[in-house]
Structure 1
Amino acid sequence: TMFVGRMRERHRRVVLLEEVSASSMEHLLEFIYVARVRLREESLSRMCTEFLEARLYSLQSVLERCQGLLWRDFTTVSRQEEFPDVPAERVLELLDSEKLQASEEELVETMLHWARQQRGQRMVHLARLLGRLCLPLVDSVFFTDVLEADKLVQQCNNCWALLQEARLYHVYGREISSERTRPRRSSGWAEMIVVIGHNRSDISWTSLTEKLDPASGKWFPSATVPGYGKCEFAVCELQSHIYLSGGQLNSSDVWCLMPQLAQWVRVGSLQVGRHKLLMARVLFACLRPQLYALGIYNGYQWLSSMECYSVFENAWKPVAPPLLTVSSSALARCSGKLYIIGGAVNNDRMQLSFRCSALTHVSSCPFSQKCIDAVSLSSTIYTAGGLLDKLYCYTPRNDTWSKVAELSMKLVHKKQLGILSHFISSD
Structure 2
Amino acid sequence: MDIVRTRSIRSSKVTITEDNAVDLLEGASFFQFQPVRDACTKFLCDTLCVTNCLERLNVGNMLMDHHLESTALSYVMKEFSAASQTPDFLDLTKELLITIISSDDLNAPEEIVYASVMKWIRHAPRKREKEMRELVELVRFPWMDKLYFIQKVQSDKILCKCCPDIVSEALKYQAYPGEVQSPRTRPRRASGLREAVVVIGGTERFAQGNPPIYSNDIMMTHSSTPSNTTWGSMTTMKRSNDFGFAVAVLGTSDIMVSVGIGELRCKDVWLYQARLDCWSNLAPINTARIYHKLAVVQVKVYAVGGKGSFSLRGTAAGEVYDRTLNKWTVGVPLPEPRYQHAAAGFNGSMYMIGGFDADYNSTSTVYQIGPGDSQWYSVSHMPEKAIAIAASALNGSIYVAGLPSKVLCYRPQEDLWTVVANTGAVPRCGMTVFGGEIYIYRGSNNGSGTNKVLWLDRQDESLKQVGTMPKGLFRHGCVNILKS
From 377, 391, 410, the equivalent of 1:375 is 391
The whole-number CA distance in structure 2 between the counterparts of 1:27 and 1:60 is 15
Asked if the contact 1:199–1:205 (Cα under 8 Å) also holds between the matched residues in 2, the reply is yes
The whole-number CA distance in structure 1 between the counterparts of 2:416 and 2:48 is 66
Does residue 284 of structure 2 align to residue 273 of structure 1?
no
Aligned AA (1:217): P
What's the secondary structure of 2:51's corresponding residue? helix
Does residue 258 of structure 2 align to residue 245 of structure 1?
yes
From 266, 289, 303, the equivalent of 1:292 is 303
CA distances 1:76-105 after superposition (whole Å, capped 9, x unpaired): 5446x55665557377335334264404x2
Counterpart of 2:328 in structure 1 is 316
What's the secondary structure of 2:142's corresponding residue? helix
Counterpart of 2:216 in structure 1 is 207
Asked if the contact 1:306–1:318 (Cα under 8 Å) also holds between the matched residues in 2, the reply is yes
Aligned AA (1:279): K
1:279-358 alignment to 2 at 5 Å?
Answer: 279-281=293-295, 283=297, 290-299=301-310, 301-302=312-313, 304=315, 305-311=317-323, 313-322=325-334, 329-333=340-344, 336-339=349-352, 341-343=354-356, 345=358, 349=361, 353=365, 355=367, 358=375
Aligned AA (2:197): I
Counterpart of 2:175 in structure 1 is 171
Asked if the contact 1:322–1:354 (Cα under 8 Å) also holds between the matched residues in 2, the reply is no
Structure 1 unaligned segments of length 5 or more: list them: 11-21
Aligned identity (percent) is 16
Asked if the contact 2:380–2:415 (Cα under 8 Å) also holds between the matched residues in 1, the reply is no
Shift of the 109–176 alpha-carbon distance from structure 1 to 2, 3 Å rule, reads same
Asked if the contact 2:293–2:341 (Cα under 8 Å) also holds between the matched residues in 1, the reply is no
Asked if the contact 1:148–1:163 (Cα under 8 Å) also holds between the matched residues in 2, the reply is no
What's the secondary structure of 2:50's corresponding residue? helix
1:64-213 alignment to 2 at 5 Å?
Answer: 64-75=70-81, 77-78=83-84, 82=87, 86-87=91-92, 89=94, 92-98=97-103, 100-103=105-108, 105=109, 107-109=110-112, 111-112=114-115, 131-138=137-144, 143-150=145-152, 153=153, 155-160=155-160, 161=164, 162-184=166-188, 189-199=193-203, 202=211, 205-213=214-222
Does residue 68 of structure 2 align to residue 62 of structure 1?
yes
Asked if the contact 2:203–2:213 (Cα under 8 Å) also holds between the matched residues in 1, the reply is yes
The whole-number CA distance in structure 2 between the counterparts of 1:64 and 1:368 is 50
Per the TM alignment, residue 115 of structure 1 is displaced from its structure 2 partner at its CA by: 5.8
Structure 2 unaligned segments of length 5 or more: list them: 7-16, 26-35, 206-210, 370-374, 428-444, 450-472
Per the TM alignment, residue 251 of structure 1 is displaced from its structure 2 partner at its CA by: 2.3
Which is further off, 238-247 or 120-129?
120-129
Which is further off, 336-345 or 389-398?
389-398
Counterpart of 2:33 in structure 1 is none
Asked if the contact 1:74–1:100 (Cα under 8 Å) also holds between the matched residues in 2, the reply is no
TM-score normalised by L of structure 2 = 0.61
From 210, 213, 231, the equivalent of 2:242 is 231
Counterpart of 1:19 in structure 2 is none
Shift of the 315–83 alpha-carbon distance from structure 1 to 2, 3 Å rule, reads farther
Aligned AA (2:100): L
From 205, 209, 226, the equivalent of 1:217 is 226
CA distances 1:301-345 after superposition (whole Å, capped 9, x unpaired): 54623212345554321134445556x542434774543634264
The whole-number CA distance in structure 2 between the counterparts of 1:171 and 1:235 is 22
What's the secondary structure of 1:175's corresponding residue? coil
Aligned AA (1:249): L
Shift of the 393–94 alpha-carbon distance from structure 1 to 2, 3 Å rule, reads closer
The whole-number CA distance in structure 1 between the counterparts of 2:418 and 2:225 is 36
Asked if the contact 1:372–1:412 (Cα under 8 Å) also holds between the matched residues in 2, the reply is no
Aligned AA (1:108): E
The whole-number CA distance in structure 1 between the counterparts of 2:379 and 2:155 is 50
The whole-number CA distance in structure 2 between the counterparts of 1:127 and 1:223 is 41
Per the TM alignment, residue 171 of structure 1 is displaced from its structure 2 partner at its CA by: 1.8
CA distances 1:160-193 after superposition (whole Å, capped 9, x unpaired): 4445432310222233233211334786644433
Which is further off, 160-169 or 243-252?
160-169
Choose 1 or 2 for highest CA Rg: 1
